[in-house]
Structure 1
Amino acid sequence: MNNHKFHMVNNSPWPILISFTLLSLTTSAVVWMHKNDSLLMMISFMLIMTLSFQWWRDIIRESTFQGIHNKKIIKLMKWGMMLFILSEIMFFISFFWTFFHMSLSPSIEIGLNWPPLGVEPMKPMNIPLLNTVILMSSGVSITMAHNFILNKMLTKTIKSMMITILLGIYFSMIQLYEYMECSFSISDSVFGSTFFLMTGFHGIHVIIGTMFLIVSTIRMKMMHFSNNHMVGFEASAWYWHFVDIIWLMLYISVYWWGM
């Protein structure tokens, strides 16, 4: 017991180990790109997943079983998640800035046209609209899950979470199909570069958010959450809403207006 409300974290080997493994992953990714040898990259990726599991296991133990995360710690963790989402928003703003800079004033290098000549844009009313409906529907289901857990309806909460996870996986599959059918590539002018950077990074965030929701659902089944102690679930829900909003902006600006 301490005479203050703050959590003084014990010494942990996971941060420094993950730092070295991330360095190994980036280095091995360069090796893969230049020498087409992916063995070291796959080993580094598996090490990151293993070390992350160990680190998150310790955090779950501290919050759920040791009771270290009191109201003050919960408030600080929520602020941390909000600041993290804010940093992600700034990350995407840089891509939107590039897109609007090039589309509103196309340079002479791309023929003063947007989209550039020779690039056949995608039709916004086909696959992009379907993906928009899928992701907006998942936003509704995660909101329902939040409402159910506040009202202590565990079974309905888990069902709503499962619907959200399935919609997230379905979105990723549809986006993969969209990439396979796309008539241009990332090397086709600044149009292809911005398109695949924006949609690709968003797709990575959808995959991360889906994993976040899967972990929250497993913890929910293990009775780790209650209607007044559910920081992990709330963080996953906030992150998923962030993914929804970014996609809506992508669809309106890139697919609909920009095409």
Structure 2
Amino acid sequence: MFFDQRRIEIKTPDQVRVMRAAGLVVGRTLARLREAVRPGISTAELDTLAEQSIREQGGVPSFLGYGEPPFPASICASVNDEVVHGIPGPRVLADGDVISIDCGAIVFDDAGQGWHGDAAITVAVGTVRDEVAELMRVTEEALWRGLAAARAGGRVGDISHAVASYVHGQGDYGIVEGYTGHGIGTAMHMEPDVPNQGRPGRGPRLRQGIALAVEPMITLGAPDTDVADDDWTVVTTDGRWAAHYEHTFALTEAGVWVLTAEDGGEARLSALGVPFGGSV
């Protein structure tokens, strides 16, 4: 590991493999949570399941105790008009809701250094309105378009532009600007920021060994947001609903490796004509 001139952490192949282990802890935990989401379950119950899953796999929750005030849970659970950073609690999910579940985990290497994985999904609770289902589809596809735009020698702005171009081509959606993707590795949030819109060919250069989290946050209305009284939960100002998806990826010698996807992103990237950068 070393840092380039812009203080961006560049990982060795061995370090990327430890990040893959952290990514699988996250991805498998989110898969369990997706299956658990149903009308009548509380967000606190989902959080308990998440922490159990992370620890059973040998990881440590990244979110628990993070920031100021310290985040009190192992996942962010954001419902309907809550965009990100929702705190799990007694709220019970109802048919027709949507919930964004954001999860992070740390796995330690043989030297005791922790490496992070971070991903998010949005899950329909029962049957949702057509416009909400389409919002979810657009947001998830925008994530994959952003991932597919990453290549060695390119720029962070290429990812940002790909996300926004896809969203704008699908309808009149709001792209949240105040919260972005980010570098990730020995810390959960590192340089550089990865905005969800921007100009191609701009921003820090992408190179082999870089690891980034890409996370579009898209709304049915305006992109403006507020922070709730708990100092964490981000909500849309106009009350319109939002969706949020995220994956952590690394650039390897072969291409893009989506560390938090069970198959490394191979199926979706191949469908978009992008070389798969995963390894065993």
Q: Please report the TM-score for the alignment, with normalisation by the length of structure 2.
A: 0.31
Q: Quick check: which one's helix share is greater?
A: 1
From the two aligned structures, give the one with the greater strand fraction.
2
Higher-Rg member (1/2): 1
Please give the TM-score of this superposition, normalised by the length of structure 1. 0.33
